[in-house]
Structure formats: C-alpha cells, structure tokens
Amino acid sequence: MASKTSKTYVPTIGLEIHAELRTETKMFCDSKNDPFASAPNTNVCPVCMGHPGTLPVINKKAVEHVLRVGVALGAELADFTEFDRKNYFYPDIPKGYQISQYKYPLVRGGALGGVAITRVHLEEDTASSGHDEGDYSLIDFNRAGVPLMELVTEPVIHSAEEAGAFGRELQLLLRTLGVSEANMEKGEMRVEANISVATEEDTVARKFGTKVEVKNLNSFKAAEKAIAYEVARHIEVIESGGAIVQETRGWDDSKSKTFSQRLKEESHDYRYFPDPDLPKLKISEIPEFSLDNLRKTIPELPWDKRARLAALGLKPADVHIYVSIPDVGAFFEETIAALGAGDPKKAKKDAILLASNYISSDILGLIKKKHGEGREAEIGRLPFGAAGFAALIRMIENKTISSRGAKDILAEMFENGGDPAKIATERGLVQKSDEGAVKKIALEVIAENPAVADEYKKGKQASLQFLIGQGMKKSKGSANPEVLKTILASLLS
C-alpha cells in the first residue's frame, strides 16, 4: 500500500493590530481619555454617547501620534485624508457606526523589522461590554470614542514566532514614541491574526490559502499559540481532503484552542462612506505636521538604540534588556555618562562592560531576589543612583576594591544606599596595596604553608596561585592580588 505523500505547507500570516492612543481627551470630544476609570460611564458626554445633533471634533494629538508612527516606520504620510463611517449595529457602538478611515488612511507602506506594513489609520474605540453577570450584559462607555490606531501588515509573516516578534517590536515602538501604553493584557493593544497555509510553490507564487482571522488574543504568547494551533488545524483539514472556510475565530486561552465565532463579513457589508460631519484634512496645510517638525519629535528608535549599544561591545542579552526595559536602559546610560564624567563618549570601554555586567547580573539579581520576577523597573527606585554606582565601578577598575568586596558594598548600597568609598573603608574592604601590609600577610602565608612554598620554589607554578588564595582569604579579600603575587614571588625566588 502506497503511503499518502504529505506535502510541505507554508503558513502565511498578516496582522491587524489596534492600539489605544495616549491623549488627554477622546477622539472626537473632550471627555477624558481614561478607559480604565474605576466608575463605569463617567468619562462620557453627548458626543461619545452618540446623541443626535452632536458634532464630532478631530483630536489633533491623535492625528499627530499616527503620523509619528508613520515617520518611524519610514512610511508614506497622507497629504489628503478623511474619516469614514463604518456602519454596523451592536450595543457597544451607540451611533450605529464607528468613525474610522477607509479609502484615505493617514499612513501607507513602511516596514517594521522587515515586515511590510500595508497601512495605519485612525478610528475610535467602542464601549466595553461585560457578559459575565448572569443573563444580561453591562456596557461601559468610558472606552467609547477613545482614539484607536489600527496597523495592518502585508501577508508576509511565515511563523508564529515571527508574528510574536513583530508584535513585541511594535509594542516597543509605540511605547518609545509615547503614543500608547500598548499593554496587551489590558487591551490597550489588540492583535488579530489572519492565518492561511499553502504549499511552498503556491506561497512563493503568492497564491495563498483561505484565511481565518483569530481574535481575543490578550498576550503575545496567546497570539503565538493561536497561530501555531491554526496552522496545524489548517494542515490537518487540507490533508484529510477538507477545505478551510473563511471565518472569524476566537482563542480560548484556558483550552489552548480556537473556536468558530462567525463567518467573515465583507467590507461592503459596512457601507463605508465619508463622514459628512468631519472636515477633510490636508496635512500639508497643517504646519506642525510637516515632515521636519514630526521628525524632531521622534526619539532614538529601538533598532537604532540596539545598534548603538551593540557597538559599545555589550553582550546581546544586555542590549536586549536596555532596549526593552526603559528604566534599566536609562540607569545604564546614566552610569556611562557618570563614568565619562558627564560625557558617555569619554567612558572607558572596560569600565562600560564592567558596569553592564554588574547591572545585568548583580543589580537585577538583587532586585529579583527582593521583589520577584518582572520588577526590573525598581532600578529607578534604588537608594543609590547611577553616580554612586559609577563610583563603585571606578573603585573596581582601579583595584581599590576586589570584585568580592564590590559585591558586599553593592549589597549594602542596595539596602541602605551610601557612598561606596565610605562603606569600603568602614568594612576594611579597601585593598591593601602598600608593600608593608601585604608583605606581612605574605610572610604569614609562607610560614603557615612551608610545603607548598617549597613546591613553588621547585618550579610548581600552581602553588603560587594557592598561596595567593590563602593570602586573599587572610586579608578578607582586601589585599591587592597583583601586589600580593609580586611580593610572594620575590620572597620565594
């Protein structure tokens, strides 16, 4: 019996990502933009409640945020743009339509981490509904009308991991630009994944398979798991002679499974048309939105920061920490500025690498021990600052203290702050470099270990290491090992 030949399938993924924008007020009214206000239905007004006769006004800051995202992505910014009504009926949308952008998005093209972007547009968020209170639903309009950015990628992602990496990089970008908190767990950032599979040949020819769209992904891990689940399901359906139906599916995190929600609606179902209540925008006529002005508002972007830190010779793991956890990155940058007496470019390479090692292993280690996992931002609340830490690093560098002594001093600073030089003196951790003191220790060590000293005299080099070790122990780590070595060697020569 000939076995069924299994083909190689390639997954194709396109992402649609929404992010709530950080502004004072909502997208089209002056209600406070605070979707997580503890009392429901408090940040509301007749405009975001959709009362008849009210008129929306465009939030300029929200437009600026999306344009800045466009600049960072190297995308094309619209000159002409307008808002459209996306009509549908659901209790979370009081007007019976959502104001969005259809034909003229603010941003087109660009790329992030090698993934081509189709578009980025601006719209308003819907109210949030709670269905877990028995046989009724509760609606909170605090979120209704909050500015929402939607970014759509081209179908160019080919694995769950790549999709997760894209989401994380976008989150980092949005936070760097200060346009969104982009917290997945809070729904400030929402990822929808469009997934299909096709044979390698067909994929190369861009003949993709039928796609499904998966929603309710409230973490990057969930997104990755859902994509992997769907890819396996598609292959199984196709291999067993079935066909994938185009539909929207939900992700059940507790079961680690997707489930069918509804058949996909087509865009013509929404009867998009330009919103007659809102002015059309000509971006070139708004001076603040000139490319030059927008560029001035862009801070160092994650990929530029990554390249700059890597060029310092830092370990990739350390670079990753400084780029992805801003508070730790800031502490590192302040430290190298202090090491260079105000100018990070003047900091010595060895001192920079030493500081980086102490930050990523020792300081973060102490934080983890005291506060637990994921609390790296505590680095901004330590009882010592980057200047005190840099002073400690300099003392290790010029061998005033040993690395063992440094760890004790750091532990003390971590608990109670203080000046590292003073702590070193108080604890007798300043390395003894003066010949007299070290010679005394050397003579004691030789007297206590005559046999080992003899071995060294007969040519066994390792014996010297042993004697240095004994001397360091005797001095409680305070002898300068270089000086100790020289003296021992000359006494035994």
Least Cα distance to 399 among 330, 485, 316, 333 occurs for: 485
- Residue 103: CB minimum distance to ligand ADP, A: 13
Establish if 493 lies at the interface with ligand ADP (CB under 6 A): no
362-368 contacts at long range (C-beta below 8 A, 24 or more positions apart): 362/407, 362/410, 363/331, 363/389, 363/410, 363/414, 364/321, 364/328, 366/410, 366/411, 366/414
- Residue closer to ligand ADP by CB (options 194, 470) is 194
User: Got the DSSP string for 199-220?
Assistant: EHHHHHTT-----EEEEEE-SH
Count of residues near ligand ADP by CB under 6 A: 15
- Residue 98: CB minimum distance to ligand ADP, A: 15
- Residue closer to ligand ADP by CB (options 13, 352) is 13
- Residue closer to ligand ADP by CB (options 22, 249) is 249
> x/- site string to ligand ADP, residues 289 to 328, per CB under 6 A?
----------------------------------------
Least Cα distance to 18 among 246, 163, 184 occurs for: 184
- Residue 160: CB minimum distance to ligand ADP, A: 13
Tokens 């997104």, residue located: 223
Distances (CA, A) of 288 to 66, 67, 180, 229, 299: 13, 11, 20, 46, 17
Task: In whole angstroms, give the CA distance from residue 135 to residue 304.
Answer: 52
- Residue 175: CB minimum distance to ligand ADP, A: 22
- Residue 10: CB minimum distance to ligand ADP, A: 11
State the CB neighbour count (10 A cutoff) for residue 123.
Answer: 21
Task: In whole angstroms, give the CA distance from residue 478 to residue 198.
Answer: 67
- Residue 211: CB minimum distance to ligand ADP, A: 4
In 3-state terms, what secondary structure has residue 258? strand
- Residue closer to ligand ADP by CB (options 207, 457) is 207
User: Got the DSSP string for 332-358?
Assistant: HHHHHHHHTTT-GGGS-HHHHHHHHHI
- Return the structure tokens found at 392: 């400690």
- Return the structure tokens found at 268: 């013509």
Residue of the chain from 13, 112, 410, 441 that contacts ligand ADP (CB under 6 A): 13
Segment contacting ligand ADP by CB under 6 A, of 13-21, 230-238, 251-259, 403-411: 13-21
Task: In whole angstroms, give the CA distance from residue 280 to residue 275.
Answer: 9
Q: Beta strand 212-217 with 247-252: parallel, antiparallel or unpaired? A: parallel
- Residue closer to ligand ADP by CB (options 13, 321) is 13
Distances (CA, A) of 325 to 175, 182, 369, 379, 414: 11, 14, 18, 10, 20
Dihedral angle at the C-alpha atoms of 227, 228, 231, 232, nearest 10 degrees? Answer: -150
Q: How many residues does the chain have?
A: 493
- Residue closer to ligand ADP by CB (options 177, 195) is 195
Residue of the chain from 16, 181, 378, 397 that contacts ligand ADP (CB under 6 A): 16
- Residue 16: CB minimum distance to ligand ADP, A: 5
Task: In whole angstroms, give the CA distance from residue 358 to residue 407.
Answer: 9
- Residue 191: CB minimum distance to ligand ADP, A: 11
Segment contacting ligand ADP by CB under 6 A, of 14-22, 169-177, 347-355, 368-376: 14-22
- Residue closer to ligand ADP by CB (options 191, 379) is 191
- Residue closer to ligand ADP by CB (options 15, 351) is 15
- Residue 194: CB minimum distance to ligand ADP, A: 3
- Residue closer to ligand ADP by CB (options 11, 388) is 11
Segment 195-254, which members bind ligand ADP (CB under 6 A)? 195-196, 208, 211
Segment 136-195, which members bind ligand ADP (CB under 6 A)? 152-155, 194-195
- Residue 250: CB minimum distance to ligand ADP, A: 17
Task: In whole angstroms, give the CA distance from residue 441 to residue 163.
Answer: 61
- Residue closer to ligand ADP by CB (options 194, 360) is 194
- Residue 203: CB minimum distance to ligand ADP, A: 10
State the CB neighbour count (10 A cutoff) for residue 37.
Answer: 14
- Residue closer to ligand ADP by CB (options 8, 254) is 8
- Residue closer to ligand ADP by CB (options 191, 488) is 191
Q: For 137, what's the count of Cα atoms within 13 Å in the CB-facing half-sphere?
A: 11
- Residue closer to ligand ADP by CB (options 193, 484) is 193
Q: Where does residue 154 rank: exposed (0-12), middle (13-18), buried (19+ CB within 10 A)?
A: middle
Segment contacting ligand ADP by CB under 6 A, of 10-18, 299-307, 338-346, 407-415: 10-18
- Return the structure tokens found at 87: 């009509």
Segment 264-283, which members bind ligand ADP (CB under 6 A)? 267
- Residue 264: CB minimum distance to ligand ADP, A: 6
Q: Do residues 106 and 81 make contact, with C-beta atoms less than 8 angstroms apart?
A: yes
Residues that bind ligand ADP (CB under 6 A): 12-16, 152-155, 194-196, 208, 211, 267
